[in-house]
Amino acid sequence: MYGKKVKLRLLFIVIILITLVLTTFLILKSLEENVVYFQSPTEIKSLMELDNNKIRIGGMVKENSIIINSKEVNFIITDFKNEINVSYSGAVPNLFSEGEGVVAEGFLKDRNFFYATKILAKHDENYMPPEVKEALGDK
Amino acid sequence: MYKIFEPNKIFHFTSKAPKYVLVLFIVFLSIGLLEALILSPEDYKQSDAVRIMYVHVPAAWISLGIFSSLTLFSIFGFILKNKNFFLISKSLAPSGFVFTLIALVTGSIWGKPTWGTWWVWDARITSMLILALFYLMYLIVWRIYDFEEKVYKISTFISILGIINVPIIKYSVDWWNTLHQPASINILSESSIHSSMLYPLLMMTAAFALFSLLIFLMKYNTELIKIKNKGLDRL
């Protein structure tokens, strides 16, 4: 039905696509450390060595962990396996609160303590009206 | 040589279509905006900022959809040596590019009050920016080269390079830690968006899709008229 050239061009495109997919996969796999936007507390605990580079830690703000005084905000980031204490001075985003996602950018003092220079609130994928949230909360 | 096709026959239909699409677009956009801005509820966490989503998410979907179809038409054009497919691809690109920009800008506007920043270099946002650059390259190629065979090949090549990025955009939020939240709507499992918010979202998606179709038809008709004006009935 179709000529030989048509089949060859189809084959050509398929080979290009396979090559590109494999190349991209290899590149992304080797760059994985840089592609992730933040690390979890568990990943921080398992770091071999600590350096002074700026990193980002993400997780949930632990319930009842936020302590605000005149100089700084202290709270705990948890991934429900490990925890890290965070200290930050500055304004926090509106959505920053206990039990919500957060990403903190800054420097590690040690494996348990983190000085944040920037706090970002992480929004989850749940969208619902307040009434529905209340109804869910009552259950 | 490139396959012949008859622009007159196609033009007979496509020249009449825009006015109907325009009416449908206005109807869907009116219902969609009414739903999204007035009738739909506030979000329990982000309150009125959720309304940005009704523009952001449809724009992002449409931009990915258009790039996928643009690539598909380019590949068919290349394999079958059919000039018509390339003209369809070319006519699809502008509205796809505009929706990519809309998704980036509205995302930035939403990010400031919600995350606390206009821009971050996380995987989802960066890959979306790359999509905008691929659209830009694709559009520029059509303006640079006058020689037909050349522009067909180079534009196909750019679309194939760019299509690799499309699944990366889609799955970036699942594969890596990103600041951007994962998808709320899943075909296979229950959506994590309430139905009172899902309905206006789908209406806006339909409106944006109709708008893309409208721009596509207008661009495509222009291409057909160009061919007719060259005094060639068949190409």
The CATH code belonging to domain A37-122 is 2.40.50.140
B92, B139 contact by CB (below 8 A): no
pLDDT of residue A51: 78
Take residue B30 and report the two structure tokens written for it.
Answer: 């009116």
Q: How many domains does chain B have?
A: 1
Tell me whether A3 touches chain B (CB under 8 Å). Answer: no
Helix (H) or strand (E) holding A76: strand A73-78
Contact flag B44-A95 (C-beta cutoff 8 Å): no
Nearest to B182 among A10, A13, A125 (CB): A125
Using a CB-CB distance cutoff of 8 angstroms, which residues of chain A are in contact with residue B182? 125
Helices (H), chain B: 7-14, 17-33, 53-80, 83-114, 123-144, 148-163, 165-175, 195-229
Asked if the Cβ–Cβ distance from A128 to B193 is below 8 Å, we say yes
CB B185 within 8 A of CB B140: no
**For range A47-74, the mean pLDDT:** 86
Per CB-CB distance under 8 Å, the chain A contacts of B3 are: none
Judge whether B57 lies within some domain. Answer: yes
Domain boundaries, chain A: 4-33, 37-122
Phi, psi of B194 (to 5 degrees): -70, 145
A7-27 burial, b if ≥16 CB within 10 A, otherwise e? eebbeebeeeeeeeeeeeeee
Any domain includes B199: no
Q: Which residue has the tokens 């696509």?
A: A17
Query: A125: nearest CA in chain B?
Result: B184
- Domain assignment present for residue B195? The answer is no
Is residue B196 situated within a structural domain? no
Q: Which two tokens stand for residue B221?
A: 């008709």
CA distances to A129, B21, B36, B115, B212 from B185, rounded to whole Å, are: 16, 27, 17, 21, 22
**To probe the interface with B, which of A6, A37, A73 has the most B CB atoms within 10 Å?**
A37
pLDDT tier at A139 (50, 70, 90 boundaries)? very low
Return d(Cα A18, Cα B46) in angstroms, integer. Answer: 42
The pairing of beta strand A67-68 with beta strand A73-78: antiparallel
Taking the C-alpha atoms of residue B159 and residue B169, their distance in angstroms, rounded to an integer, is: 15
A58 lies within 8 A of chain B by CB? yes
Average pLDDT over residues A13-26: 94
Examine residue B73 and state whether it is found in any structural domain, yes or no: yes
Classify burial at B91, counting beta carbons within 10 Å of its beta carbon; exposed 0-12, middle 13-18, buried 19 or more. buried
- In terms of CA atoms, which chain A residue is nearest residue B74? A13
B193: tokens are 């968006």
Q: How far is B177 from chain A (nearest CA, A)?
A: 5
- Which residue of B lies nearest to A93 if distances are taken between CA atoms? B116
Closest-CA residue of chain A to B122: A37
> Is there a domain that residue B194 lies in?
no
Average pLDDT by stretches of 10, chain B with 235 residues: 69 89 96 92 86 95 97 94 92 96 96 91 94 96 85 94 95 90 82 88 96 96 85 53
Residue range A87-101, pLDDT digits in tens = 998 888 888 888 889
Find which of A65-69, A112-116, B78-82, B214-218 is predicted with most confidence, using mean pLDDT. Answer: B214-218
In a domain, B214, yes or no: yes
Q: Identify whether the C-beta of residue B33 lies closer than 8 Å to the C-beta of residue B200.
A: no
The answer to the question of residue B7 being in a domain is no
What pLDDT is recorded for position A138? 57
